[in-house]
Structure formats: C-alpha cells, structure tokens
A and B are shown apart, each in its own frame.
Chain A
Amino acid sequence: ETGVTQTPRHLVMGMTNKKSLKCEQHLGHNAMYWYKQSAKKPLELMFVYSLEERVENNSVPSRFSPECPNSSHLFLHLHTLQPEDSALYLCASSQDRFQGEDGYTFGSGTRLTVV
C-alpha cells in the first residue's frame, strides 16, 4: 500500500474516553505532521516530527499526546477531550521538514466527534 493511511476514518468518543489515532506512510518520508481542520477555519498545525523527533508543538493542549515510534508511523493519543475538539484530524508526510517540490502528502483524515 502506498501513500498516507489514517485509521480510523470516523471516531465518536465521550469526554472521559481514551482513544488513539493512527497514521502510516509508505513513502520513505522523514517528516510527519498532525493538522486539525475545523469547519470554515484554516488547517491548524499541531505537531511536527522529523526523523522521529518532535520538532514543533504548536501550543496544543496536553489532552493531545503525539507519538512517533519510527519514521513510518505516527499516533495521536486522545484523553478527556472537549466537544470543541470535534474536527477532522489530518496526518501528512514530506520528504523532509523543509518541504520540497512535491509538497506534503496527506491522509484522508479521521473525523472525530466528541460527545
């Protein structure tokens, strides 16, 4: 399988639940990203990983916890979320964190609903 794969595609969770989002890329890229997309708002960067090291945390609340065990996998662990955290969570990868001619490759996202 090629490209960036995100699972699950849809997730409904209560405010007291703990869940994880998974992202996998088979492109040989060295940088991976989590973005949040809310309705009618720009994509909002959450985290940047380069060679499995977190290089940016864009003031994200601690109820979101990223993990990058290797250059092909990225997780976003969720706990005690709020209804306003409901959004489309997008994972992306690129050859390196300084971009490049081919841009980012995005996954299809996980549609998260917090009830």
Chain B
Amino acid sequence: EDQVTQSPEALRLQEGESSSLNCSYTVSGLRGLFWYRQDPGKGPEFLFTLYSAGEEKEKERLKATLTKKESFLHITAPKPEDSATYLCAVQAWYGNKLVFGAGTILRVKS
C-alpha cells in the first residue's frame, strides 16, 4: 500500500530562519511526487512535481528535492506569508490517484 509520512507535524520559525520539511514515502513505482500549499479555508494549491531521484525544483523561497525514499521542501529566509500547511503526495505508475500525507503546519513569526 502506498504511504506518505510528513514531519514535523508543526513547525514554528522566526522570519528569516531557514528550515526543511520532510516527506517520506513508500510506493511501488513512483510516477510523481507532488507538493502543495494549503491556506486556512482554501483548497490545496499546487507547488511542484518531482519525477526522479536527484531532481530539484525552485520557486521563490521554496526548493523541493527528491531521493528514492523521501523528499524535502527547503524554505530559505521565510516570511510570515509563507505560513500555511504544506502537503506532500505521491502517485504510482499503476494508479490514477494521489496519496497524501497529513501535512506540516508552518508558522512564521515576524
């Protein structure tokens, strides 16, 4: 069974304090790993898709990386507006659905 585990469950940072979120996964043949951001009262917003180990993608202060067992979302010099829940999901080659982790709640204080 495909599984996704995210850690930590919650993370509090000071503005400018860089850190990383972890997404560990088990899947029988990875088609893609996806990162989403979700603000309170809203649906998830797509951030990145990663397909193979060693791949990296960047968007503003966020950088996502992928290995064969986990993915990291690195946040460099975060700002309060980066506060949100960050969700990781995987899709297997044989499946037509995304399997999500429970998310990491990020709070950035000024």
Q: Would you call B46 and A45 a contact (CB within 8 A)?
A: no
- What number of B residues sit within 8 Å (CB to CB) of A? 23
The number of A-B residue pairs with CB atoms under 8 Å apart is 65
User: Which residues of B are in contact with A by a Cβ distance under 8 Å?
Assistant: 4, 31-32, 34, 36, 41-46, 49, 87, 89, 91, 96-103
- How far is A28 from B49 in the complex, measured between Cα atoms in Å? 20
Whether, in the assembled complex, A66 has its beta carbon less than 8 Å from a beta carbon of chain B, the answer is no
Nearest-CB residue, chain A, relative to B42: A108
Across the interface, do B31 and A99 meet the contact criterion of CB distance under 8 Å?
Answer: yes
Report yes or no: B49 in contact with A101, Cβ–Cβ below 8 A. yes
Q: Which residues of A contact B102 (CB under 8 A)?
A: 40-42
**Contact A43 B100, beta carbon cutoff 8 Å:** yes
Question: 11 A-B residue contacts at CB 8 Å?
Answer: A41-B102, A42-B101, A42-B103, A48-B96, A101-B49, A102-B49, A103-B36, A106-B36, A106-B43, A109-B41, A109-B43
Max chain A C-beta neighbours (<10 A), residue from B41, B87, B101: B41
Chain B residues whose CB sits within 8 angstroms of the CB of A79 once the complex forms: none
CA distance A102 to B36 in the complex (A): 11
Shortest beta-carbon contacts, A-B, top 8: A106-B43, A103-B46, A97-B96, A43-B100, A42-B100, A42-B102, A45-B97, A106-B44
Q: At the interface, yes or no: A4 with Cβ under 8 Å from chain B? A: yes
Nearest A residue to B48 by beta-carbon distance?
A: A103
